[in-house]
Each structure stands twice: as structure tokens, then as C-alpha cells.
């Protein structure tokens, strides 16, 4: 029996939703029939609009998909203008103000408090600048991710940007691929460091060489959601660059035909790969979806992968790096991926003044300004904006990622972004960074959907609840030792239901245990520095990997400290967690297009 979502999609989906969306925008929020809310909100996702959570009715999150995180010259300025004019709600965020932009872990942009009535004007403004919200959400090709400095990287094996661009042009808006069983996440990596995070995508193209020709190996069925994390499986297929789009089409059609449309829990590609195994996936792909002989996998570069691999070589793209053309790209740290609109506008202006105007978004919620000439690099680095968005941040600020959380999201169980800001600041002020550690990833996800990618962090935090002093409080499950690289590894869940105000103390105690118990080892000769230092410490990830569950649980205890958490109550049952009067009954929503409350009986 088809699900309601499938039935709704059969009736109206894809491009045609836009006409209905504009009609509702013209007529106003309350023109959507009450009995059709669930259906339309599901459909609106295809155009990048998520209805915000209970208590925020009539407001939407709007997601702009920027393939590979590339914002071409002028586009960031437009994003700032749209956020400034339209992404203002009835209450301010105490950390970020009244209007801001979120950079996501899929190199996209999210704005909040968008009203339906403003959507046509927003779309017109974005589209005039070459930006779109199309298929940013919903059951279709999502934003294509990749190495954020593709085409500007000295580590490049293949320039993946034209490949990602072609996939974007081909699969966004094509009716044949508009309605899939579930979301379809694609990654293209061109560098030898693994920055595309292909392992956690439904479809991944990773650099590989075959018979002396550069191309990509194909992996399928990765994903993190629902306590069912999977790394993408090697299906033993290599494609030259010119065949990538054809193979992507074939894999999408296979998913379209065989993905489970009767059970959305089971619909993602990872479950089909579980059921079939990689060998069958390959044979069905060969026999039913391509008319040429697929080549077996080539020699990949995975043993060179350093991105989020646990060492200190290349955990992200923050910092100053030379491009092949002699210019520089400068990666700036954006704590939890959120920037106030004035800062976004300033960033756009600086990118224009010092670089080519291009800005790129990373999968660690940071930004990269490209094409800065050496002659003006120091002047750029001296700009006041870089005091808050540093190219050389403290490790605890640098490593922090957080999803949207209960501020807006229906799925989240706990408050996330503001909490993670407070965690990072407290850790910076109160905990010594272990000698030798330059990169320490702490990812906070509000629920099992795993938008903050918690399973691939040194310290993984996932929203939960517990009782403390007899009262229900926000809590986190804590995992350790996850990451990517040649041998990717999901975190081991070690401490469950830790009250949120005891997590910073736990991390402090954990790092003290790491410092006390980590092993020294000889540095391989080819990696020794000129100072002759021949000994190094094992990485945190290695430290975790060589301990069993009991040993990990015995490493550290949660503890109350000077850290104070203002969000311990059930933030999901507020209309907005930071409002002075936060009860659901105090919500002004739903409102009309000008922000005036509507009676629910209207």
C-alpha cells in the first residue's frame, strides 16, 4: 500500500509545485486548506521550504543549494540581502541576533522565519543571481557535495568542480529524476585527501586511476541517519570523467525502480545495498541500466586520505593555503556554521575586494575565500571580520559543528547551536588542549537524523533526554573516536543520557585521561621534521580504537562544572527557546505575511 507521501507525490510533485506555491503566496498562508497542510508541506520541501516546528506555524526554513558549496561572485551578497530583508522572525537569537545565515554540512545555506507570502520575491531575487532552492530538500537529488576547493587545490587529482556542475545541471529539474523513493545524496571528490566525504553519501565518485587514465571509482549506499549508519559500499566500478553523468543516471534509475516506496524507514539506498550486497548492485546496474561494459574499480587514493582522518594533517579547509595559480584560498572558521547578516555582507564585500568575489562553503560549516593574491593577503588577514571568523582558530572553536536543533527543527530533541557555542567557549577557557592536538572535532546533532554528522567526530553528541533531580532535562548520548580517512570509523557510543550541563565536564575529564594514558611512538623516518623529533603521541582516534567498550566507559565521568546551561528544560515544548515568554501559548504564530497573528479559527 503506498504511503501518504507517495500518494501526495503522485498527485503533484517536482516543478509543478511552484505554481501552487505561488498561488498560496498570493492568497496568503491561511489559503492552504487545513486538511491539506501535511500534503503541501511535504511537497514544498522539493522547492527548499521546510515548515518550521510546532509553535512556529506559517514560518518556513528556506534552503539554497549551492553545488559543491560554490558561491560565484556576487551570489553571497544576494544571500545576505535576502536574509536581511526576509529572514527576520518575531524573536531574536541571543547569540546571533535577528537575522543570520546557516552554512550546512552539505555545503548549502539555510534561512529561517521565511513567510510563504515572500517566497515569489525571494525566488525572483535568488534566481536573478543564479541561485536556486530547487530540490534542496525532498525526495530527489539533493545538493551535490565535494571538496570545497575543487579546481583551486594543489592536492587535486581530478578537477571535480566541472563534474559536480554537470551533475547539478543535468539532475536538477529533470522530471525523470524529480520523484525518487527518498532523498538522494551525491558526492564528487577530486583531490587525494578525501574532502568530499563520499563515504557518507548515497552515491559517491572518488578519484581513481585505471590503465593510466584518471577517473572515479563508484560507491553506493552510505548515510548516517536513524542509528543505522553505513559507509558507502565499493561496487567495483570505475568511470572516466566523461561517463560520470551516465553512471549517475543509471544508479539513480536503479534506486528509482528498486528503492522501497512502501516503507519510508527502509527507503534509503543504504538499505537496498544491505539487502542486495555490492555484487548484486553492480550486476543489476550492468544488466538493466547501462549499455556498455562497466569497468572494474581502478586504483584509488584512499590510503592518502587525510581529511578528518584523525591526524593533524588536514582536518578541514581552515587556514591559508596556496592555490596552483599562485593565489591563496583562506578558510575561515564559522562557529556552528552561523553568521549574522551584517557579517555575511561584509564577507561578500571582502571576497570582492581581495579575491575574485567567489566564496565557498565547506562540509564543516565554514567558509573559504578564494583567489586572494599574495600581494594583498596580509591586508585581508588583518581585516577586523577575521577576528571573529579566524583562519587560525582555537581547536575547540574549530572543531565544533551543530545542527539546527529545537530552535526550528521538528525532528530535534534538544537545543543545539547556542549550546554548542557555549560548550566551545567554556572548553576554550577551561580545558588545556593536549600537546600535539591541533584539530579536535565535537559534533552536536539534535537527533538521530544526524545532520551534524556526529558519528564521524572525535566526540559525538546526540540529543536525548534524561531525568535529573527528579525533573526531565535535555541530555546527550556521547560517542567517541569517529572519523573518515582510509579506514573510516563510526564513533563508539560510550556514555548515554548525560545531562547536557555535565557534558563539558565529561569532555574535560576525557581529555585529561587521554593526556595521562596515551602512548608515545616513533615517528616514521619519512615524516620526521628537521628538529629531529622522533617521538609522537597516538592520536585521539587511535587511543579510542584500541580500547574496548568497558575501557572506554571507564575513561571519564560526566561532571557538573562552572559551565551553565540555560536550555536544560524541554526546549521542544517552547514556541521559541530564547523568547522571554517561551510557552507555546505565547507564540504569535501563525501570522499573516506581515507578521500579524492570525486566529487559528480564521
Q: Which helix (H) or strand (E) holds 291?
A: none
Rounded CA-CA distance 409/388 in Å is: 27
Among 114, 132, 143, which Cα is nearest to 75's? 132
Q: Does 569 bind other proteins (CB under 8 A)?
A: no
Rounded CA-CA distance 54/445 in Å is: 19
Using DSSP's 3-state secondary structure scheme, residue 115 falls into strand
Q: What is the pattern of x (binds other proteins, CB under 8 A) and - over residues 485-524? A: -----------xx---------------------------
Q: Does 583 bind other proteins (CB under 8 A)?
A: no
- The residue within the footprint of other proteins, chosen from 225, 239, 254, 503 (CB under 8 A), is 225
Q: How far is the CB of 111 from other proteins (least distance, A)?
A: 20
Looking at the Cβ atoms of 147 and 225, the one nearer to other proteins is 225
Rounded CA-CA distance 119/121 in Å is: 6
Q: Does 251 bind other proteins (CB under 8 A)?
A: no
Rounded CA-CA distance 219/206 in Å is: 8
Between the alpha carbon of residue 519 and those of residues 310, 436, 523, the distances in Å are 15, 13, 12
Per-residue H/E/C for 567-596: CCCCHHHECCCCCCCCEHHHCCCCECCCCC
Q: What DSSP state is assigned to residue 436?
A: T
Phi-psi sector, 497: left (phi>0), alpha (psi -120 to 50), beta: left
Looking at the Cβ atoms of 4 and 275, the one nearer to other proteins is 4
Rounded CA-CA distance 579/586 in Å is: 9
Q: How far is the CB of 406 from other proteins (least distance, A)?
A: 8
Among 582, 575, 435, which Cα is nearest to 56's? 575
Q: Which helix (H) or strand (E) holds 240?
A: strand 233-240
- The residue within the footprint of other proteins, chosen from 570, 579, 592, 597 (CB under 8 A), is 570
Looking at the Cβ atoms of 59 and 329, the one nearer to other proteins is 59
Among 10, 92, 30, which Cα is nearest to 600's? 30
Q: Rule CB under 8 A: which of 355-414 touch other proteins?
A: 410-414
Q: Does 154 bind other proteins (CB under 8 A)?
A: no
| Listed ranges 258-266, 346-354, 376-384, 551-559: which one lies at the site for other proteins (CB under 8 A) | 258-266
Looking at the Cβ atoms of 261 and 317, the one nearer to other proteins is 261
Q: Does 287 bind other proteins (CB under 8 A)?
A: no
DSSP string, 499-568: EGGGHHHHHHHHHHHHHHHPPEEEPPGGG--TT---EEEPPHHHHHHTS-HHHHHTT------S---TT-
Q: What is the pattern of x (binds other proteins, CB under 8 A) and - over residues 40-59? A: -------------xx-----
Q: Rule CB under 8 A: which of 425-464 touch other proteins?
A: 447-449, 463-464
Q: How far is the CB of 412 from other proteins (least distance, A)?
A: 8
Q: Does 546 bind other proteins (CB under 8 A)?
A: no
Q: Does 10 bind other proteins (CB under 8 A)?
A: no
Among 52, 68, 69, 71, which Cα is nearest to 60's? 52
Q: Does 12 bind other proteins (CB under 8 A)?
A: no
- How many CA atoms are closer than 13 Å to the CA of 57, on its beta-carbon side? 20
Considering Cα of 539, then 208, then 195, then 273, what sign does the dihedral take? negative
| Listed ranges 35-43, 245-253, 340-348, 527-535: which one lies at the site for other proteins (CB under 8 A) | 35-43
Q: How far is the CB of 584 from other proteins (least distance, A)?
A: 11
Using DSSP's 3-state secondary structure scheme, residue 15 falls into helix
Q: Does 34 bind other proteins (CB under 8 A)?
A: yes
Sequence-separated (6 or more) residues with CB below 8 Å from residue 232? 198, 199, 200, 201, 202, 203, 204, 219, 220, 221, 222
Q: How far is the CB of 581 from other proteins (least distance, A)?
A: 20
Looking at the Cβ atoms of 2 and 94, the one nearer to other proteins is 2
Q: How far is the CB of 565 from other proteins (least distance, A)?
A: 16
Looking at the Cβ atoms of 508 and 572, the one nearer to other proteins is 572
- How many CA atoms are closer than 13 Å to the CA of 253, on its beta-carbon side? 15
- b/e 112-131 (16+ beta carbons within 10 angstroms → b): bbbbbbbbeebbebbeebeb
| Listed ranges 2-10, 96-104, 319-327, 480-488: which one lies at the site for other proteins (CB under 8 A) | 2-10
Looking at the Cβ atoms of 586 and 600, the one nearer to other proteins is 600
| Listed ranges 141-149, 202-210, 236-244, 263-271: which one lies at the site for other proteins (CB under 8 A) | 263-271
- For other proteins, how many residues bind (rule: CB under 8 A)? 35
Q: How far is the CB of 490 from other proteins (least distance, A)?
A: 18
Q: Does 465 bind other proteins (CB under 8 A)?
A: yes
Looking at the Cβ atoms of 496 and 598, the one nearer to other proteins is 496
Looking at the Cβ atoms of 219 and 261, the one nearer to other proteins is 261
Rounded CA-CA distance 12/36 in Å is: 12
Rounded CA-CA distance 527/127 in Å is: 49
Q: How far is the CB of 179 from other proteins (least distance, A)?
A: 17
Q: How far is the CB of 34 from other proteins (least distance, A)?
A: 6
Chain residues binding other proteins by CB under 8 A are: 3-5, 34-38, 53-54, 225-226, 263-265, 410-414, 447-449, 463-467, 472, 475, 496-497, 570, 572-573
Amino acid at each position: 500500500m503506498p504511503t501518504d507521501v507517495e500518494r501526495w507525490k503522485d498527485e503533484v510533485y517536482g516543478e509543478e509545485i511552484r505554481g501552487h506555491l505561488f498561488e498560496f503566496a498570493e492568497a496568503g498562508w491561511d489559503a492552504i486548506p487545513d486538511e491539506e497542510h501535511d500534503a503541501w508541506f511535504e511537497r514544498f520541501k522539493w522547492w527548499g521550504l521546510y515548515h518550521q516546528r510546532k509553535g512556529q506555524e506559517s514560518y518556513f526554513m528556506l534552503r539554497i543549494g549551492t553545488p559543491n558549496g560554490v558561491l560565484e561572485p556576487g551570489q553571497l551578497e544576494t544571500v545576505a540581502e535576502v536574509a536581511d530583508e526576509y529572514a527576520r522572525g518575531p524573536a531574536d537569537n541571543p547569540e546571533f541576533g535577528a537575522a543570520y545565515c546557516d552554512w550546512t554540512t552539505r555545503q548549502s545555506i539555510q534561512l529561517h522565519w521565511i513567510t510563504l507570502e515572500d517566497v515569489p520575491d525571494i525566488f525572483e531575487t535568488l534566481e536573478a543571481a543564479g541561485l536556486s532552492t530547487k530540490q534542496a530538500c525532498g525526495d530527489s537529488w539533493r545538493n551535490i557535495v565535494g571538496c570545497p576547493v575543487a579546481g583551486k587545490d594543489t592536492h587535486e587529482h581530478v578537477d571535480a568542480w566541472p563534474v559536480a556542475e554537470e551533475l547539478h545541471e543535468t539532475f536538477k529539474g529533470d522530471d525523470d529524476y524529480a520523484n525518487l523513493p527518498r532523498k538522494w545524496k551525491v558526492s564528487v571528490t577530486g583531490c587525494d585527501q578525501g574532502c568530499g566525504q563520499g563515504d557518507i553519501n548515497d552515491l559517491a565518485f572518488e578519484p581513481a586511476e585505471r590503465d593510466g587514465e584518471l577517473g572515479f571509482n563508484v560507491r553506493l549506499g552510505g548515510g548516517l541517519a536513524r542509528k543505522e549508519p553505513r559507509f558507502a559500499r565499493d561496487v567495483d566500478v570505475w568511470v572516466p570523467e566523461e561517463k560520470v553523468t551516465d553512471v549517475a543516471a543509471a544508479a539513480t534509475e536503479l534506486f528509482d525502480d528498486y528503492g522501497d516506496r512502501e516503507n519510508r524507514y527502509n527507503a534509503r539506498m543504504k538499505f537496498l545495498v544491505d539487502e542486495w550486497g555490492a555484487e548484486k548492485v553492480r550486476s543489476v546496474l550492468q544488466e538493466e541500466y547501462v549499455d556498455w561494459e562497466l569497468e572494474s574499480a581502478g586504483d584509488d587514493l584512499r590510503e592518502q586520505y587525510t581529511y578528518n582522518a584523525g591526524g593533524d594533517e588536514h582536518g578541514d579547509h581552515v587556514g591559508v593555503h596556496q592555490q596552483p595559480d599562485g593565489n591563496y584560498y583562506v578558510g575561515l572558521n564559522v562557529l556552528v556554521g552561523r553568521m549574522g547578516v551584517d557579517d555575511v555582507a561584509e564577507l561578500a564585500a571582502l571576497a570582492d575586494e581581495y579575491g575574485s568575489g567567489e566564496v565557498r562553503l565547506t562540509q564543516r560549516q565554514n567558509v573559504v575565500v578564494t583567489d586572494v593574491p599574495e600581494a594583498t593577503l596580509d591586508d585581508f588577514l588583518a581585516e577586523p571580520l577575521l577576528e571573529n571568523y579566524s583562519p587560525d582558530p582555537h581547536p575547540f572553536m574549530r572543531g565544533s559543528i551543530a545542527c539546527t536543533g529545537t530552535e526550528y527543527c521538528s525532528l530535534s530533541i534538544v537545543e543545539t547551536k547556542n549550546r554548542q557555542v557555549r560548550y566551545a567557549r567554556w572548553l576554550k577557557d577551561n580545558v588545556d588542549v593536549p600537546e600535539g592536538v591541533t584539530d579536535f572535532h565535537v559534533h552536536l546533532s539534535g537527533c538521530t537524523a544526524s545532520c551534524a554528522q556526529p558519528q564521524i567526530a572525535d566526540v559525538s553528541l546526540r540529543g536525548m533526554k534524561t531525568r535529573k533531580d527528579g525533573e526531565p532535562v535535555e541530555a546527550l548520548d556521547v560517542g567517541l573516536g569517529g572519523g573518515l580517512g582510509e579506514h573510516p570509523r563510526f564513533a563508539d557510543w560510550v556514555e548515554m543520557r548525560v545531562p547536557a550541563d555535565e557534558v563539558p565536564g565529561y569532555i574535560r575529564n576525557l581529555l585529561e585521561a587521554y593526556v595521562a594514558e596515551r602512548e608515545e611512538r616513533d615517528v616514521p623516518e619519512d615524516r620526521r621534521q628537521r628538529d629531529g623529533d622522533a617521538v609522537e603521541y597516538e592520536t585521539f582516534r587511535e587511543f579510542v580504537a584500541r580500547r574496548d567498550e568497558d575501557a572506554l566507559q571507564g575513561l571519564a565521568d560526566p561532571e557538573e562544572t562552572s559551565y551553565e546551561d540555560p536550555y536544560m528544560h524541554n526546549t521542544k515544548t517552547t514556541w521559541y527557546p530564547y523568547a522571554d515568554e517561551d510557552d507555546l501559548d505565547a507564540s504569535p504564530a501563525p501570522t499573516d505575511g506581515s507578521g500579524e497573528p492570525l486566529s487559528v479559527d480564521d
